[in-house]
Amino acid sequence: MQEHTFPTYFLSHGGGPWPFMKDQFGGRYDVLEASLQDIPRQIGARPKAVLVVTAHWEGPQFLVSASPRPGMIYDYSGFPPHTYQIQYPAPGAPELAAQVKQLLDAAGHPARLDHERGFDHGTFSALFPIYPQADVPLVQLSLKHGYDPLTHIEVGRALASLRRQGVLILGSGLSYHNLRQFGQAGAVASHQFDAWLRQTMALPPEQRLAQLLAWDQAPGARQAHPQEDHLLPLMVALGAAEQEAAHVAYHEEDFFGALAVTSFRFGATGGN
């Protein structure tokens, strides 16, 4: 039995295939990249697999990627030609995928295995700085239509035992995701919502949960998330470490010149 208990993370994963566009972006992503590169040190051990809850995949039920050799999904447009040739050849983990399905089925949230799904950019762009050798097996978990926050928290609860079995759970989204108001146009809403989110994460677990379940009442909430797909991975990551403290793992006040964005870690470092 793996005694090391991994923390969980909600990652604000940045835009598009940014780790593969440093010449174009300059230093815009340096702070985010450094925060991701520090995760192996923070968690204190090498995971046997990573489970990524991705904002870029959803279905009428929860879907779990089960291919042993996942391909690539270039789910973006308008980027340079080389970004449509990116490879992140991490292996899949079909046995973990089956276990995830079993845990969700048992918790009353039936899941389906998808044997074709490849890695979307919310997965490979976040994972490349963490494990650049692409040598840690990856499984992706979708969101569920309807975006019910409690459902996604309950899914996190159902997956919590994986943390003691060598699995690192990452929710990959973005704490501000309004592509129509990116940059200066979103400054006020992003700062309002980000301040609320960081204050909420610092509350005791019961209060934190109550606040999150009513997230759309927060200042700037619907401006920050007209559609909450990029916020829901946070619910799963928190649900899997519900009684543990949240720590800011990454924060910027001037992302794309104006936006406030944050990533969180739930649980202690070093497996404590």
Token digits of residue 79: 């980027």
Distance CA 218, CA 224 (A): 10
Going along the chain from its start, the domains and CATH numbers come out as 8-266 (3.40.830.10)
Instruction: Summarize pLDDT for 105-115 with one digit per residue, the tens.
Output: 999 999 999 99
Amino acid at 112: R
pTM across the whole model: 0.96
Instruction: List alpha helices for 29-147, DSSP H.
Output: 30-37, 39-43, 94-106, 121-130
Instruction: Give the model's pLDDT for residue 28.
Output: 87
Q: Are 28 and 256 in contact (CB under 8 A)?
A: yes
3-state DSSP call for residue 66? coil
Instruction: Summarize pLDDT for 49-107 with one digit per residue, the tens.
Output: 999 999 999 999 999 999 999 999 999 999 999 999 999 999 999 999 999 999 999 99
